[in-house]
Chain A
Amino acid sequence: MMKKRIRILLILGLFFASAGGGWFHYAYHPYAKTGYGWVPFIVGLLSLLVVPILFYFRKTLNLAYLINGFSVIIGTITMAHFSLQISGLWPDILILWAKFAIGRAIFCLEVYPMDSNPHVKGWNLIRYPQLGFWFVHLAAWSLVYFLGQYLWR
Chain B
Amino acid sequence: MNKIKWFKPLWWVLHIVAIASVLWIGHSIQF
A-B contacts, 25 listed (Cβ < 8 Å): A35-B28, A36-B25, A36-B29, A39-B25, A70-B18, A74-B22, A78-B25, A78-B29, A81-B29, A81-B31, A82-B31, A85-B31, A86-B31, A144-B19, A144-B23, A145-B22, A145-B25, A145-B26, A146-B26, A148-B24, A148-B25, A148-B26, A148-B27, A149-B29, A153-B27
Contacts of A152 in B (CB 8 A): 23, 26-27
Q: Is the CB of A141 within 8 A of B22?
A: yes
A interface residues, tally (CB under 8 Å): 20
List chain A positions with a Cβ less than 8 A from chain B: 35-36, 39, 70, 74, 78, 81-82, 85-86, 128, 141, 144-149, 152-153
Contacts of B1 in A (CB 8 A): 128
How big is chain B's contact interface, by range? 10 to 19
C-beta contact mask, B9-30 vs A, less than 8 Å → 1, else 0? 0000000001100111111110
Residue of A nearest to B29 (CB): A36
Q: Is the CB of A147 within 8 A of B26?
A: yes
Contacts of A144 in B (CB 8 A): 19, 22-23, 26
Contacts of A74 in B (CB 8 A): 22, 25
- List 8 additional A-B contacts (Cβ < 8 Å) besides A82-B31, A147-B23: A36-B25, A36-B28, A86-B31, A141-B22, A145-B25, A146-B26, A149-B26, A153-B27
